[in-house]
Chain A
């Protein structure tokens, strides 16, 4: 199975600060069809996760453009350019290139 390693596990930030989260895969997530099925989710406390970014860098409808994704192959990054209070929660990367789909361990974003 593909293992996704997220770092850091915890991130402390002030409002307005820019932060990045890394997601490293144990094997390439490039599918034979040319797509890379690496997505990012945010889970706010007490809520189900919500989709932020899909196919590495495509912003889900309604998601603020302070969120951006990048990367290829085995190394991926989620960046928040100017953290806002509503961004606090746990971020997960998830791959759906290779069955079984797998999640990263999560990165908790909290206020400093």
Chain B
């Protein structure tokens, strides 16, 4: 069974940093691209970042470019999102999602909440 489990969220002050993790199981992690997608409270979905299976291709949304870094450790089956210079508008539930062969998001974690507030 495919499972994605996020962790690392919490309450953080504006301007500070936080690192999210997503541990994958039930599939060969190194074969799939992965994404971070977020959802602000009561709002829609916003794609944040993508990393290809071998980390060769990395894309970011403009709203986080230069502040967030996506990475992965295929030996540990883990996806990361390093978030710096956090702003109140980064407050959201952050999901990791697997990217299937045809670029669809076929499996999602339950999400981890990040709250940026003083």
* Known A48-B108, A51-B100, A55-B102; further 13 A-B contacts with Cβ < 8 A: A35-B102, A39-B104, A48-B109, A48-B111, A49-B105, A55-B104, A94-B45, A94-B105, A96-B99, A96-B103, A100-B60, A100-B62, A105-B44
Check if B47 sits within 8 Å of A49, measured CB to CB.
no
In the bound complex, what is the Cα–Cα distance between A103 and B46 (angstroms)?
A: 7
Report chain B residues within 8 Å CB of A99.
50, 59
Q: List 9 tightest A-B contacts by C-beta distance, closest first.
A: A96-B103, A48-B108, A54-B104, A99-B59, A101-B47, A103-B45, A106-B44, A37-B103, A39-B104
In the bound complex, what is the Cα–Cα distance between A14 and B31 (angstroms)?
A: 43
In the bound complex, what is the Cα–Cα distance between A58 and B59 (angstroms)?
A: 26
Task: Say yes or no: is B11 at the interface (Cβ < 8 Å to chain A).
Answer: no
Interface residues on A, range: 20 to 34
Task: Say yes or no: is A86 at the interface (Cβ < 8 Å to chain B).
Answer: no
* Chain A positions near chain B (C-beta within 8 angstroms): 1, 35, 37, 39, 41, 43, 48-51, 54-55, 58, 60, 90, 92, 94, 96-97, 99-106
Check if B45 sits within 8 Å of A106, measured CB to CB.
yes
Check if B108 sits within 8 Å of A37, measured CB to CB.
no
In the bound complex, what is the Cα–Cα distance between A37 and B105 (angstroms)?
A: 11
Interface of chain B residues 19 through 57 with chain A (CB within 8 A): 35, 44-47, 50
**A49 touching B45 in the complex, CB below 8 Å, given contacts A1-B62, A99-B50, A99-B59:** yes
In the bound complex, what is the Cα–Cα distance between A11 and B102 (angstroms)?
A: 29
In the bound complex, what is the Cα–Cα distance between A51 and B105 (angstroms)?
A: 7
Min distance, Cβ A24 to any Cβ of chain B, angstroms? 16
Give B47's nearest chain A residue, CB to CB.
Answer: A101
Q: Mark B72-114, 1 if CB is under 8 A from A, else 0.
A: 0000000000000000000000010001101111101111000
Give A60's nearest chain B residue, CB to CB.
Answer: B106
In the bound complex, what is the Cα–Cα distance between A93 and B35 (angstroms)?
A: 16
In the bound complex, what is the Cα–Cα distance between A95 and B100 (angstroms)?
A: 13
